[in-house]
Structure 1
């Protein structure tokens, strides 16, 4: 088995549903993801009205990023030790985009004065080597990589 192929005879049906990001101000974070990254807010009005505990932003039809305030860490009791693990950072989250959307994201981040790394080429990911990629941080310090394969 090579690094970029699935096990023969095994079909992977898993999909990424959501990632929880710890953010100081969920409304401001949603604004960043909408304006700079181009992601659609989900449940933002309901969060602002106090009806839901956190908002999200939509990555695609199957995946969202939950924008969780740190005060929610104490409610993470779904299994032993979960509360103590809540709020620990993730190294980075990678967004895979078509080439045109990749360029548009880089332009939007530049318009918002978001610092970005230089472009990298051929970094390995879920679909093999990516043609180009770069990194940026959200206002809460979460690190994102953007890449395209085509």
Structure 2
């Protein structure tokens, strides 16, 4: 099942307020891990957490539409969300909880640094200088290849 991105944003923000940069990276890791854990093959990535396109911006993976939603906040924190939450299935809640448990303690800057060391962002930025504006899409296949390695290492 594909969820609305706003529902995932609200779920993440219901845990704690965070900066727009951190929210972008949390969305990226939630999407990437869901993609990896809910699909069996690289060439059949049909199960997605939400429909969105991540771009390889200077400061890491970004969904342009989400950037526009919070751009006026700049570096200020988005307040914690306290409204009603969408119902997610058990597998989705499990992925979201794991992602929050692993990445939620990091700052946006730390998550940016982590994403810059990973193949999906690096591949999308090929041919660009570190501070060049880049709107190249981060490929789902690259995300799957990156994170499936962690799953295989656990077995």
Q: Same fold (TM over 0.5)?
A: no
More helix by share: 2
Larger Rg: 1
The structure with the greater share of residues assigned to strand is 1
